[in-house]
Structure 1
Amino acid sequence: MSKHVYFVTCPKGVEYLLADELSTFGLGLVRNAPAGAWVDGSLEAGYRACLWSRLANRVILHIDEVAATSADELYDGVVHLDWQQHIPVAGSFRVNFIGENEAIRNTQFGAQRVKDGIVDRFTMSGGKRPAVEAKTPDVTVSARLHRGRLALGIDISGHSLHQRGYRTEQGLAPLKENLAAALLLRAGWPEIVAAGGDFVDPMCGSGTLVIEAAMMALDIAPGRRQERFGFEKWLGHQPDIWLNLRQEAEKRAYEGKQARIPGFLGFDQDSRVISTARNNAQRAGLDGLVRFETRAVEELALGDDRAKTGLVLVNPPYGERLSDRKALASLYESLGDAVKKAASGWRLGVFTGAPEFGKSVGLRSFKQYKLFNGKLPAQLLLFTIDDASVRVPREPAVPGEVQPRIANEERAAMLRNRLKKNMKSIGQWARKQQISCYRLYDADMPEYALAIDIYDGRVHVQEYAAPKSIDEHSARERLAEALAVIPEALGIARDQMVCKQRQRQAGTSQYEKQDASGEFFQVQEHGCTLKVNLRDYLDTGLFLDHRPVRHWIQQNAHGKRFLNLFCYTGAATVHAIVGGASRSLSLDLSKTYVSWAQDNLALNRADPRKHRVEQVDCLAWLAAKPTPDQVYDLIFMDPPTFSNSARMAGVLDVQKDHSRLIRQAMARLSSDGLLIFSNNFRRFKLDESLAPEFDVEEVTASTLDKDFQRNPRIHRCWHIRHSA
């Protein structure tokens, strides 16, 4: 099946939701665009978008792009395209032209030049030409001018898809159907209805939110009742594919009504709009499935049989006149009082052009989305209706603490999209590899200099210290945005996320406690159980970038004597033991980490008589003359970049001291053994004098899993053997 390129348009602010929706139809994202998305896929997928998209305005089948820096150049590009394969000679067409530049400053003129080019293409060899029809053409040609390029396509939707066909009459402030669907998706309605929830709009107007919620919950295609689409008289149309899709939509609409029917309730104090809402629901095929009543918001009542969970979603008046806005605070207060009394345990969504009145609801909003209602900026505020969310006077902030807050929704949306994309790729890879701890994001975007790691469902966020060129206010603003976006994008509770600022460490500060939560938990890695702590120390107890090194040790440790120098929490030793090492010795200066390593070995049932962990200054231990029993077949050494602990024999500088450390370690390596030497100093250079003395092989590339390939300098690693 051939692949086509489509440009699908949508309301401003809905682009990322649209891209996600289109992917479910089999359309792959090519690139995002303002108020739309470029995607590719089969003709069937394009038809499916026309029938099933709840968010799109138009679906345009891309034909070609031509140069258009002048009117003549535009005409020349259009006239050379094969329009005979798209428009029937005996049919009709129209041109929808959008955009302008210095040469084409009028859309009517631009449309005329495109029309001329199409018509002349038909008549160049003396043939007949199709008619031009402005209102009900057989084919609509889309022409979108941007700078000096003109994108040409066939509008296979034929009309704006927000027009479902059920709304022939409307209230005073109508909400477009696809924007209503976007609000439902942002508010989490699909997940709520899957959990057995109901839906209520206490200021429903003409019922758009209620009807869209019902169609979504009952799996009714938005385009099910459309009489015709723009592709039906297009010459490339394949009726058999379309017939199958229509039959599938009818089957799904039938099956959607056979399962549990949620409650769909709409209230409004204006009886006239309630009558309109009922008529709209009837035209949508929802007669008897949704309920509308004349009732003021203060009278909101859901009955004793209400569901335990549900969504209250409302689009209250915006108060465009000053006198109206003065009354908004009391309206929002009434709304808050009503939902707290009638819908405890539910979620509340308020779509408003006056977000400053959101505080009057009396609940703390846990999420805010910037959108547009037409050209009017607006926000969707989300609240959990429970006692824990009741707004109380703010206590003084903890000095230095960053509170989650989105200052720039467009910038935050970029991070949200990147995290979701990474979760699909890296997260899927990790699941296939049965890896539960991995790096999801590593400063992928310069605006957000963070490392985000997943630890078996928990999230560890490290903020890299901002360069001096970035002012502190901007850095904190972006961190606040990240802290607001990460839980939502990854689908976790906020208390499952820990954030730290990562800075260059000196001396013993790397060992110092950052907190005293004592929140240890266990994770799995290639059959090993390891203890981690995300809160109390700068590091977590597990260096994720060394995962492939540990796995290699596990696969090659059978029957070997293993030495782990600067052992940290002993994770590499655990892998050696699980891999069958005959005995092991793990050494570290830190009492904290020695105890932690002992716990890790105990978790994996290591025999303490064969596998020992000792608190030792590795520098002094290596400098001493080795004893006969200090011979090992496999040695792992990953020293810190710098250390000057008072308990050490000297100061450790890995660049200056590594050659001495390597030679001392090699004195304890068996004749056919292997030393694995690694460090994470970015500017590290291995002493060239080691190569003539030993068999030295850099293996860094093989020690970087998929989650660290964006940052190949995270560490370097060598295999060092005695020369033959």
Structure 2
Amino acid sequence: MTTHKFTVTTARGMLPLLADELRRLGISNTRQEQGSIRFTGSLEDAYRFCLWSRVAIRVLMPIAHFAAETPEQLYDGVKAIAWEEHLEAEGSTLAVDFNSFRSKIKHTQYGAQKVKDAIVDRFREQSGHRPSVELFQPDLRINVYLKHNQAIVSIDLSGESLHKRGYRQQQTEAPLKENLAAAILLSAEWSRLSRQGWGLLDPMCGSGTFLIEAAMIAADIAPGIGREYFGFLYWKQHDKPAWQQLKADAERRRHAGLSRMPMIVGGDIDATAVAAALSNIEQAGLQGRIQVFERQLLDWPAEASQLPAAGLLVCNPPYGERIGQRDELHYLYDSVGNIIQESLPGWRSAIITDNPELGKFTGLTLFDRIPFDNGPIACEVLYYRAVKPVTLTERTQAATQIRETTEAAQDNTSRPQVEISEQGRMFANRLGKNYKHLAKWARKNNVSCYRVYDADLPDYAAAIDVYADHVHVQEYAPPKKIDPLKATERLTEMMQIIPEVLSVPASQVALKVRQRQSGKQQYEAQAAMRQRFAVDENGLKFWVNLTDYLDTGLFLDHRLTRQMVAEQCKGKDFLNLFAYTGSATVYAAAAGAASTTSVDMSNTYLNWAQDNLLLNKLDGPQHHFIRANCIDWLTQAREQQQRYDVIFLDPPTFSNSSRMEGVFDVQRDHVELIWSCIKIMRPDGLLFFSTNRRDFKLDKKALEALNIDNISRATLPADFEKNPKIHYCWKISKDKHR
């Protein structure tokens, strides 16, 4: 892999955020300078940063460095560069940005002219042709920085400032730049708060910049996904396949993230501003996801009951020197403070101002202040604590109520509509037939969660599961030979068709993207928002979460397995290893197990398992939950002579968890694991062993002393009949002749 050196620039106050973005994108070889950060990486790294940075201004790739004390030296140095490797001589366009710092050539326009002349003259002498100058979106933008008479010549990969996202169709007086809005939100920890279900309110939203940037952060939408122009798109060394793959991955993450949107609300006293905000929201593809009202500031307290218990109020009030009378602004700050204290006490707030002294009129507790520039105006952002922070329980209850309210307000218009292809109509037809048949079967069998489609058509490779009135979509990774943009078009079609065919709001269709991502992206996108709801299965209830984890909390293919296990549990001691969310434990408890023990390494899943028991009113001291490495725990249980009648063993295919020593591989380690279970099982006990590794082979020779019954087909539900390798399952006992 070829590496290059790059320089990324940003505005005052944003450098720490820029450094954090680089780390999160997996770029570690960095060096910080005044106003910029240099890093070494691949061209794909630079493209990814252009696409995903929320605070950067430009991404530059230096290609030459030379002394330039005189105009002649500058001309000669630029002319010596092999520009034919970067730009076509005929029919192409270029632009030059020139900046000087403590150098003899001080006039930037003159410097830019000398650079342009040198490039044009080289082309003319070589081919008789020359590119033309185009200041707006040229094929190649060249950046020259002259510092202490040393010239650094760079290709501007961003092409134009990255704060231009492409969604601003209309603007109001004194609009906030997009990267500044993002920086304020990131500094307020909005990325984390939004994942916890906090809401966001901008009561003076103007053209909606805060609202849109907040939505893009919360939904894991790349800020550059709507841009049609970057500086590398017409560059001769452009890596088109890498860029197409990055855009396709970003589009998948956008689809997945839209189902995790918290409540984002804004308003403005000016009807023109509200219209501008709605237009920009639609251009960003977020219509229906953000609510905007024509409303006076003092009317917001009456709407507080419709907002989450916890949230972030963020706003850009008028500045005295632009659109407000400075001596009247203290009333505005006083009003914001009153709204928080009286109506939104669980909310934090962030206010950008050119006069920090005005912040005192809010009466709120300041916990941080960060200097940022709003264009030419030096400003500060004031961050205030919540007056009365709400508890986790209050947040969770409020988030559930708000989610239901928000979902009811959203419909299929909240996703961009595309023309359905002939293949798309075939997919819709297949999905509709499957749904008609399986919905009838599910009602008859008292099941509210089932698989309705599993890559029936190769072009639409996804598993689609119904969870009551929600839908969970898992896209299978497309083969590398498939054009990533074509695969993304198919995904977009699919996500438009599913709500229509299955008659659910688009906001209740969750897409799960299972793929390796750089740095911490995957974990950031899938950190918990606690957006869970209860579903029914065979008269039992289970909490599921379609958005926040890699799995939903309920493995649908094990529906019959759970029943089969439960049939053996009445009056017995039941052990659930690698218990996950305890669905098998719930079945065993409901069947009258004398005791249940659930073992897992994750506190999150063990808490979830306890909640599932509580949901079914099955809690009690006979149900035990143990956080431990199952392999180590089995050794301890044997030493302590613990015994069980029924054991359910459904280990992961592979695990290298930080809480485990070494690496677990079910193919390599299953024999030892099974024998460890047998040693703590009573003489007439039963072990149910299952795995979803598709190429798994049970080592029958190593287990020949045991009675083994392959029950894989018997545990395959009707909605998984087309995928017989979804799991393998065996019933094992000690007595070979039993």
Q: Report the TM-score, using the length of structure 2 for normalisation.
A: 0.51
Report what 2:270 is aligned to: 270
Say whether the 8 Å CA contact 1:100–1:107 is kept in structure 2.
Answer: no
3-state SS of 1:256 partner: helix
Change (3 A) 1:322 1:177: closer
Q: Report Cα offsets for 1:108-134 as digits up to 9, x if no partner.
A: 210111112222333444554333333
The whole-number CA distance in structure 2 between the counterparts of 1:331 and 1:172 is 18
- Structure 1 residue 327 displacement after superposition: 0.9
Report what 1:44 is aligned to: 44
Say whether the 8 Å CA contact 1:56–1:162 is kept in structure 2.
Answer: yes
Tell me which amino acid in the other structure corresponds to 1:166. Y
Say whether the 8 Å CA contact 1:23–1:29 is kept in structure 2.
Answer: no
Tell me which amino acid in the other structure corresponds to 1:248. D
Q: Report Cα offsets for 1:320-340 as digits up to 9, x if no partner.
A: 279811111111111100112
- Structure 1 residue 217 displacement after superposition: 0.5
The whole-number CA distance in structure 2 between the counterparts of 1:70 and 1:52 is 39
Change (3 A) 1:380 1:136: closer
Say whether the 8 Å CA contact 2:144–2:151 is kept in structure 1.
Answer: yes
The whole-number CA distance in structure 1 between the counterparts of 2:124 and 2:102 is 29
Report what 1:346 is aligned to: 347
Say whether the 8 Å CA contact 2:310–2:389 is kept in structure 1.
Answer: no
Report what 2:511 is aligned to: none
Say whether the 8 Å CA contact 1:12–1:34 is kept in structure 2.
Answer: no
Report what 2:244 is aligned to: 243
Q: Report Cα offsets for 1:416-451 as digits up to 9, x if no partner.
A: xxxxxxxx9xxxxxxxxxxxxxxxxxxxxxxxxxxx
Report what 2:297 is aligned to: 297
The whole-number CA distance in structure 1 between the counterparts of 2:388 and 2:345 is 8
The whole-number CA distance in structure 1 between the counterparts of 2:204 and 2:129 is 56
Once the two structures are overlaid, the 10-residue window that deviates more, 225-234 or 299-308, is 299-308
The whole-number CA distance in structure 1 between the counterparts of 2:228 and 2:126 is 36
State the percentage of identical aligned residues.
41
- Structure 1 residue 40 displacement after superposition: 2.0
The whole-number CA distance in structure 1 between the counterparts of 2:193 and 2:388 is 20
The whole-number CA distance in structure 1 between the counterparts of 2:115 and 2:315 is 44
Change (3 A) 1:345 1:79: same
The whole-number CA distance in structure 2 between the counterparts of 1:12 and 1:59 is 16
Matches within 5 A, 1:463-482: none
The whole-number CA distance in structure 2 between the counterparts of 1:380 and 1:96 is 31
Say whether the 8 Å CA contact 2:172–2:206 is kept in structure 1.
Answer: yes
3-state SS of 1:300 partner: helix
1:142 aligns with 2:162: no
Question: Larger relative contact order (C-alpha < 8 A, sep ≥ 6)?
Answer: 2
Report what 1:194 is aligned to: 195
The whole-number CA distance in structure 1 between the counterparts of 2:229 and 2:323 is 44
The whole-number CA distance in structure 2 between the counterparts of 1:273 and 1:53 is 27
Q: Report Cα offsets for 1:82-114 as digits up to 9, x if no partner.
A: 212111222221211122555322112101111
1:24 aligns with 2:13: no
Report what 1:362 is aligned to: 363
3-state SS of 1:54 partner: coil
Report what 1:320 is aligned to: 321
Say whether the 8 Å CA contact 1:67–1:73 is kept in structure 2.
Answer: yes
3-state SS of 1:349 partner: strand
Report what 1:85 is aligned to: 85
- Structure 1 residue 388 displacement after superposition: 9.0
The whole-number CA distance in structure 1 between the counterparts of 2:323 and 2:170 is 28
Matches within 5 A, 1:45-84: 45-84=45-84
Change (3 A) 1:215 1:387: closer
The whole-number CA distance in structure 1 between the counterparts of 2:229 and 2:335 is 44
3-state SS of 2:325 partner: helix
Change (3 A) 1:79 1:28: farther
Say whether the 8 Å CA contact 1:142–1:152 is kept in structure 2.
Answer: yes
The whole-number CA distance in structure 2 between the counterparts of 1:209 and 1:268 is 13
Report what 2:334 is aligned to: 333
The whole-number CA distance in structure 1 between the counterparts of 2:389 and 2:358 is 20
Tell me which amino acid in the other structure corresponds to 1:371. F
Tell me which amino acid in the other structure corresponds to 1:230. G
Say whether the 8 Å CA contact 1:64–1:151 is kept in structure 2.
Answer: yes
Change (3 A) 1:323 1:171: closer
Report what 1:284 is aligned to: 284
Change (3 A) 1:164 1:362: same
3-state SS of 2:305 partner: coil
The whole-number CA distance in structure 2 between the counterparts of 1:139 and 1:228 is 11
Matches within 5 A, 1:490-569: none
Say whether the 8 Å CA contact 1:143–1:150 is kept in structure 2.
Answer: yes
- Structure 1 residue 76 displacement after superposition: 1.8
Change (3 A) 1:104 1:334: same
Say whether the 8 Å CA contact 1:300–1:339 is kept in structure 2.
Answer: no
Say whether the 8 Å CA contact 1:143–1:152 is kept in structure 2.
Answer: yes
Say whether the 8 Å CA contact 1:29–1:40 is kept in structure 2.
Answer: yes
Tell me which amino acid in the other structure corresponds to 1:345. G
Tell me which amino acid in the other structure corresponds to 2:23. S
Report what 1:519 is aligned to: none
Report what 1:587 is aligned to: none
Say whether the 8 Å CA contact 2:318–2:324 is kept in structure 1.
Answer: no
- Structure 1 residue 244 displacement after superposition: 0.3
Change (3 A) 1:294 1:243: same
Say whether the 8 Å CA contact 2:101–2:148 is kept in structure 1.
Answer: yes
3-state SS of 2:278 partner: helix
Report what 2:513 is aligned to: none
1:213 aligns with 2:214: yes
Report what 2:130 is aligned to: 129
- Structure 1 residue 39 displacement after superposition: 1.9
Say whether the 8 Å CA contact 1:218–1:253 is kept in structure 2.
Answer: yes
Matches within 5 A, 1:614-633: none
Matches within 5 A, 1:5-20: 5-20=5-20
Tell me which amino acid in the other structure corresponds to 1:156. L
Matches within 5 A, 1:448-487: none
The whole-number CA distance in structure 2 between the counterparts of 1:322 and 1:26 is 42
Q: Report Cα offsets for 1:175-233 as digits up to 9, x if no partner.
A: 00000000001111011112111111111111100110001101111111111211011
Say whether the 8 Å CA contact 1:159–1:230 is kept in structure 2.
Answer: yes
3-state SS of 1:304 partner: helix
Q: Report Cα offsets for 1:627-649 as digits up to 9, x if no partner.
A: xxxxxxxxxxxxxxxxxxxxxxx
The whole-number CA distance in structure 1 between the counterparts of 2:322 and 2:96 is 39
Tell me which amino acid in the other structure corresponds to 1:337. N
- Structure 1 residue 33 displacement after superposition: 3.0
Aligned length: 389
Change (3 A) 1:253 1:76: same
Change (3 A) 1:60 1:323: closer
Tell me which amino acid in the other structure corresponds to 2:357. E
- Structure 1 residue 25 displacement after superposition: 2.5
Tell me which amino acid in the other structure corresponds to 1:367. D
Change (3 A) 1:264 1:168: same
Q: Report Cα offsets for 1:473-517 as digits up to 9, x if no partner.
A: xxxxxxxxxxxxxxxxxxxxxxxxxxxxxxxxxxxxxxxxxxxxx
Change (3 A) 1:267 1:66: same
Tell me which amino acid in the other structure corresponds to 1:133. E
Say whether the 8 Å CA contact 2:137–2:160 is kept in structure 1.
Answer: no
The whole-number CA distance in structure 1 between the counterparts of 2:161 and 2:336 is 33
Say whether the 8 Å CA contact 1:26–1:41 is kept in structure 2.
Answer: no
The whole-number CA distance in structure 2 between the counterparts of 1:160 and 1:33 is 19
The whole-number CA distance in structure 2 between the counterparts of 1:27 and 1:144 is 24
Matches within 5 A, 1:380-459: 380-387=381-388
The whole-number CA distance in structure 2 between the counterparts of 1:101 and 1:128 is 36
Q: Report Cα offsets for 1:232-279 as digits up to 9, x if no partner.
A: 110110110011011111101100112x32111001111221111111
The whole-number CA distance in structure 2 between the counterparts of 1:191 and 1:176 is 22
Report what 2:711 is aligned to: none
Q: Report the TM-score, using the length of structure 1 for normalisation.
A: 0.52
The whole-number CA distance in structure 1 between the counterparts of 2:22 and 2:13 is 16
Change (3 A) 1:79 1:194: same
- Structure 1 residue 81 displacement after superposition: 1.6
Say whether the 8 Å CA contact 1:100–1:106 is kept in structure 2.
Answer: no
The whole-number CA distance in structure 2 between the counterparts of 1:388 and 1:134 is 51
Name the Cα RMSD after superposition.
2.1
The whole-number CA distance in structure 2 between the counterparts of 1:248 and 1:299 is 42
The whole-number CA distance in structure 2 between the counterparts of 1:140 and 1:312 is 39
Report what 1:516 is aligned to: none
